[in-house]
Amino acid sequence: MDVIPAIDLLGGRCVRLYQGDYDQSQVFSEDPVAIAQQWVEQGATRLHLVDLDGAKAGQPANWEAIKKIVQAVDIPVEVGGGLRTYQRVAELFSLGVRYGILGTAAIENPELVGQLSAAFPGQVIVGIDARNGKVATRGWLETSEVEAVELAQRMAALGAAEIIYTDIQRDGTLKGPNRAALRQMAEAIAIPVIASGGIGSLSDVLSLLSLAPVGVTGMIVGRALYTGDVSLKEAIRAVGQGRWQDVPPDLGQSSLA
């Protein structure tokens, strides 16, 4: 299972939001390239970048920072935020980005997911961000009536390579991932699910191993890495050595929430 560090970009800086609220942002670094290199040095095999300005504006806004990060590291980089046209995604891939994450477009222009998946097989990820099980769009500023699991099934049928599932109410809170929702989604589709939102401790990291058998293949960790609540190096080592059968009872099925 992959442990994927998150780098959220706002105004060219590395920040974290609380429950997706742009008014509750905390700056962790003025140099996102240095942060990316730091995570690679600690063992990251993949990076998760979110262009928060782009998500809000509807088109990529931190292009230069993304380009510099891709040039500075030698591991796959995935990027989301404001990717709502074929041209923008193609341009992103031309920079060397490995995976493009579509969120709002999956709701408003699902045909685009199919077109891009056919043109760039294995490179299109759909980010499903949910509030109370309903999909949020446009940088989490709007909430639709579409059920997260229903959207995941549609996107899998259109050729999406993976689903990144984020529980907005857990994101940035360090209160633990929503394992019940992750299990429900993973069991409903045949493509991998990446967990995102709420991871605040090594116990939270290990708790997700119980979902590996149903198709949760990775986790995105953000705020906990920046606050020091989780050591990336330690998390990668623990996941590599652990098995879901070894997770203590209080971290396994009985505590799904």
Positions marked catalytic = 8, 129
3-class DSSP assignment, residue 80: strand
Residue of 125, 27, 15 whose CA lies nearest to 76: 125
- Residue 219 sits at φ, ψ, to 5 deg, of -145, 140
Sign of CA dihedral 54, 59, 62, 67: positive
For strands 21-29 and 13-18, give the pairing.
antiparallel
Placement of tokens 């050591």 in the chain: 231
Q: Quick one: which of 48, 57, 83, 56 has its CA closest to 139?
A: 56
